[in-house]
Amino acid sequence: MNFEEFCDRFQALLEQRSKTPSLLDCGQQLLQDLLKNPAWFVDRLQKFIAAPAFLDDQPASVFENEIRLYRSPDRSFVVLAYLWDDRTLCPVHDHNAWGIIGALLHPMREVKYRRLDDGQTEGYADLEQVSDRVFQGGETGIVLPLNKGVHQTGAAFDRPSISLGVYGRSIRQGSIHFFDPEEKKAYRANTRIPFRKGLALRTLAALEETLGEKLLTPTILQFLPDDLVREFRLHSSKTNSR
């Protein structure tokens, strides 16, 4: 399945107006099919690296490793990609909508939490870890909205990872929340962070290893400063020596 077909089929699934459990089950099957081969993602990552104006089309995000791949015309769902450095986990956070997540390239990790307090005290949250899972390539999981979906994700091992997330329409306006389980603190994640192009280059090096193809072409190189090219080649040599 290519990416365009996935988006069309997911839109058709939503238009069936199935109940949420059935929707998420069927959505997981669609995402699993998309995750089987990461080759379709290469073109999008190459365009991001080569296009100086790419970020102009990207919405602000609280995550510096997020790329929006698609948003449906009726705004009923969005598809996001996350590029993870080695063994990097994002902050613990909640969600404003249901979601389906999965590993596209190399294993990803998800740590889930249960909220023990009632959420009525501003800035306070008492969390208990309930699971710690590693997703292999092609595996998917479900994210629930608000306090039922508190988790953190990232790369499971010592290599970059790519994960995908499909999220529905928001049921709560405003930003998501970040949490500090040890300090029992909660706060709105309002910081807007630009994407790091160096992270995209390191991920491209990991894709080269996986697909056995040379992906950083002369066309792309002409758009990159020398320091980023050196970073890519250094990371690529380390990746291929593993």
Residue 57 has pLDDT above 80, yes or no: no
- Residue ranges of domains in the chain: 3-36+59-188, 197-240
Note the pLDDT of residue 229.
66
pLDDT the model gives residue 234: 64
Convert the pLDDT of each residue in 119-158 to its tens digit.
999 999 999 999 999 999 999 999 999 999 999 999 999 8
What values do phi and psi take at 141, rounded to 5?
Answer: -150, 170
- Secondary structure (H, E, C), 77-144: EEEEEEEECCCCECCEEEECCCEEEEEEECCEEEEEEEECCCCCCCCECCEEEEEEEEECCCCEEEEC
Q: Which of 69, 72, 11 is nearest to 38 (CA)?
A: 69
Q: Which amino acid is at 189?
A: A
Amino acid identity of 167? Answer: Y
Domain 3-36+59-188 homologous superfamily, CATH: Jelly Rolls (2.60.120.10)
Mean pLDDT of the chain: 86
d(CA 81, CA 2) in angstroms, rounded, equals 15
Is residue 105 a contact partner of residue 162, using CB atoms and an 8 Å limit? yes
pTM: 0.85
What is residue 158's predicted lDDT score, i.e. its pLDDT? 87
**pLDDT confidence band for 210 (50 / 70 / 90):** confident
Start-to-end C-alpha separation, the chain: 30
Which position has the higher pLDDT, 86 or 77? 77
